[in-house]
Amino acid sequence: MLTLKRLMDNTPRPVQDRAKLTNAQVIHSEIVGRSSKYGVHVVVRCDSNTEETHYDTVVEFFPPPITQKEYEKPTLNTPTFVKCSCPFFLFHCEYALTRSGNSEIDYSNGKRPVIKNPNQTPYLCKHLFKAAPAALRMSQSVALKNDKVSFR
Ligand SMILES: [Zn+2]
């Protein structure tokens, strides 16, 4: 699973530019349990509002555990799971991100894309690119409010 920084760095410049014009707001954040491999998941849901269409955008951080109740604070270098319901994500991102362990096949047919992103580079859609920094900040504040786990 690649880090958020790597996914953002991989994102093509035109997508990064379009992200500036996108309205993607964090609407919900929660800690949803732990996986044995990485520790807690911090899920941040974003409402991406573009061209009067709403997309469901999910950013999920997997910070490694330090002790049983303490985890590394999510940063740009935290392994990150991502998902978006927009068509760009379906055609360009989902397959490549699933291969790198950063997403799962949910919206596409799971076949390797031939025309869009034929090199299968794992990168983000504009909604995820815009929402990710806010999701990162939110993941840290949700951990502060949770008495079961904390970040160091
Ligand atoms: Zn999207």
How do the domains of the chain map onto residue ranges? 4-147
Q: pTM above 0.75?
A: yes
For ion ligand 1, residues whose CB falls within 5 Å: 84, 86, 89, 125, 127
3-state secondary structure of 45: strand
| Element housing 144 (H / E) | helix 126-145
Which tokens go with 120?
């299968």
Q: What are phi and psi of 36, to 5 degrees?
A: -65, -30
Q: How far is the CA of 128 from the centre of ligand 1 (A)?
A: 6
Per-residue pLDDT of the chain (152 residues; tens, 9 = 90+): 999 999 999 999 999 999 988 877 777 777 666 554 555 566 666 666 655 677 888 888 888 878 877 788 889 999 999 998 889 999 999 999 999 999 999 877 777 777 888 889 999 999 899 888 888 888 777 666 666 677 77
Shortest CA distance to 12 belongs to which of 136, 126, 91, 98?
Answer: 126
Q: How far is the CA of 143 from the centre of ligand 1 (A)?
A: 26
CA 126 from chain centre, in angstroms, equals 12
